[in-house]
Structure 1
Amino acid sequence: MSAPPNPYPNAGWTIVSHRRHRGCRPSNPNPEMEALNVDPVPPSPWTPMDPCTSPELESKILCKIKSTIHQLKNSRFYARVLDRLRCAEIQSSICRALSPASGLPMVIYGIGRLASDDFPRIQLALALLLREELPITSIEVFDPVLSASECAVLKTLGLTVLVENEMGRRVVSAPTLFFLPHCDAALYDNLLSANWEPARLNSIVLLGNSFEAYAHYLSWAGEHYGSEKPRVMARHVMAVRQYVREVAMEERQEEWKTRHNGNRKKDEESVLESALWDTSWHFFELEDGANMDILQK
């Protein structure tokens, strides 16, 4: 039996590497890796590690992003994403999370390097296109790997770059859409633990890695490595699954997984799919007074 994709393949915030066209997971994941050691520290001030920028560099990054938006918007893949987004199940779930608010702020964690990597640009393009489809009132974004040039471009596009590293621990006070493209399970867990009560969780719409896929991996890791550490680090993710309505972002994800188990030359469409593979909508449906001590079971 081959290993399922590893939800925590790298140390730090995001599984994005500094190579182009990444997205392949290691075939033999090790659940004891240091990526799981995310300490519960308070938010800390942040500034880009690379403070140098120039109009020429910003223009180049912006052109790449606009080209990616055009590419994604006119793709068959995005047409399927829109079909699923506009279906009654997702629309009713979004309306339920929104009620009684009329707008939905968006928070993006772990977007990666926009200047050098295709996948982060595709993920950002999706967020910007969703702004045309949903009542998104604002977009905040953070990744500690962002450069000053990338921050400037994000601001040009109308996004706000956070100046604190929240480590995903944003406490919601109103309905909020979170987009965590291919982030470590520990980051998801931080978000859930910070909002561990029914009213707050029900206000969250989460677009990101499939919780079902996480559960599959954790089961595999426990069986093959005999370790509970991955499950402990994702304990909120696993505990809340019974209260989550999960809908795959587009209908062909299962077919995509099957196609990519073997060698296949990547065309434009498959690169788009790879950047957003295993991405699902997650809607929380907890009753008032639900027992939030389920972690102890």
Structure 2
Amino acid sequence: MSDTGEEWQVARRRKGAARRSKSLQVSSTSTCCQEQMDIGIIVKRIRDTLSELRCEEFWQEWKGQLLVAGSASSSSKLPEKRDPEEQLEEGREGRLRPQLECVCYGLGSFSSCVSARYQLAMLLLLLDAGQIPLKDCSVYDPVFSSGERDVLRELGLTVLTENEEGKHLAMKPTLFYLMHCGKALYNNLLWKNWSAQRLSLVIIIGNSFSGMRERMIEREFTRDYSYISKAVDLCEERRLPCPSRLIDVFNDTSIITFPSNGLNRSQQSTWAELSEPQYQHCPDLEIILRETQN
């Protein structure tokens, strides 16, 4: 491992401590230091971490699961007008262009947090495996410093300028990479895409929905995170492996998909609730809301 043992210890959480959104864990001191970071050094650290992960046995299973999910989701794309010449060219070459886009929220301060750096490196591996162009991956976290945004652009990613609060509408098959994000972010994403047609386009790599339900009081879970509560019975979760030495980085991670056959068989009442989540009963929301002007 390229990082020092001391640096690694900084990133580790105490065993049994409640997980909080990484977006709430960055000190003003570290943010200040990031403004003066050497972009080249940070990019090299990320690429070194990427190379390390590529040699890990568990990465092959992550890759395989993504390819299976991406193939299924691509067959559920929305109807669109296609250029006849483009279709003819693809037919001649016997291929289809990569269909997936990617949206990543809540990475955290990857210049100072080792866990966040590993998660960013894993994102880059997944993009490569899924043949998703770097520019087609949009990333956002309110805690990114200007230096970190420059690093992400240097890597080729698209940095969003607006806090969407997770409310991103999937217009085509989309991978949402949400590592250890707050439940409200997942809930907002589901609300925005709450229809059988839209959810079939959604692939999530993040925390297990069933795990969220197990860790909460059922009544509060249904009241505060109603879309996740309903999605548990609509989605298919596949737990992704995690080596013990990276347990604080990739623990409780699943790939979550919404098979069309299950969505289409669901009762019509499933889609009746369309109200935007408000979270008035959630003092510990684990999400940074966008700033509003009075």
Structure 2 residue identity aligned to 1:279? T
Task: Give the 5 Å matches for 1:178-193.
Answer: 178-193=176-191
> What SS does structure 1 have at the residue aligned with 2:108?
coil
Mapping for residues 61-140 of structure 1, pairs under 5 Å: 61-85=42-66, 90=69, 92-98=71-77, 102-137=98-133, 138-140=136-138
Compute the displacement of 1:26 (Å).
4.5
Q: Distance in 2 between matches of 1:172 and 1:94?
A: 12
Selected match of 1:249 from 236, 240, 245: 240
Look up the match of 1:213.
Answer: 211
Question: What one-letter code is carried by the residue in structure 2 that aligns with 1:201?
Answer: L
**Contact persistence 2:166–2:188 (CA under 8 A):** yes
Q: Which piece of structure 1 moves more, 287-296 or 111-120?
A: 287-296
Distance of aligned partners of 1:92 and 1:118 in 2 relative to their CA distance in 1, 3 Å threshold: same
Stretches of structure 1 lacking an aligned partner (at least 5 in a row): 1-18, 36-48, 223-227, 254-268
**Secondary structure in structure 2 of the residue aligned to 1:199:** helix
**Identity across aligned pairs (percent)?**
30
Q: Matches of 1:21 and 1:51 in 2, distance apart? A: 17
Kindly tell me the number of residue pairs found equivalent between the two proteins. 235
Deviations 1:206-256 (A, max 9, x none): 1111111112112xx35xxxxx43442221011122111111123xx5xxx
Structure 2 stretches lacking a partner, 5+ long? 1-8, 22-30, 80-96, 276-294
RMSD over equivalenced CA pairs, Å: 3.1
Change (3 A) 1:238 1:118: same
- Equivalents in 2 of 1:145, 1:22: separation in Å? 19
Quote the residue 2:160 is aligned against: 162
Task: Quote how far apart the aligned CAs of 1:188 are.
Answer: 0.1
Q: In 2 relative to 1, CA 146–80 (structure 1 residues): closer, same or farther, beyond 3 Å?
A: same
- 1:258 is matched with none
Is 1:274 matched with 2:255? no
Q: Secondary structure at the match of 2:236?
A: strand
Query: Equivalents in 2 of 1:189, 1:147: separation in Å?
Result: 26
Distance 2:257 2:268 in 1: 16
Displacement after TM superposition at 1:99 (Å) = 7.3
Pair 1:95–1:172, CA change in 2 (3 A):
closer
Q: 1:287 aligns with which of 249, 252, 264?
A: 264
After superposition, the Cα gap between the structure-2 partners of 1:65 and 1:197, relative to the gap in structure 1 and judged at 3 Å, is: same
- Give the 3-state SS of the residue equivalent to 1:165 in structure 2: coil
Label 1:97 to 1:22 Cα distance change in 2 as closer, same or farther (>3 A).
Answer: farther
2:73·2:202 contact (CA, 8 Å) conserved in 1?
A: no
Q: Which residue of 1 aligns with 2:144?
A: 146
1:117 CA displacement: 0.6
SS in structure 2 at match of 1:287: helix
SS at 2:143's partner residue? coil
Q: Which has the higher contact order (CA 8 A, sep 6+)?
A: 1
Question: Which has the greater radius of gyration?
Answer: 2
**How far off its partner does 1:196 sit?**
1.2
TM-score normalised per structure 1: 0.69
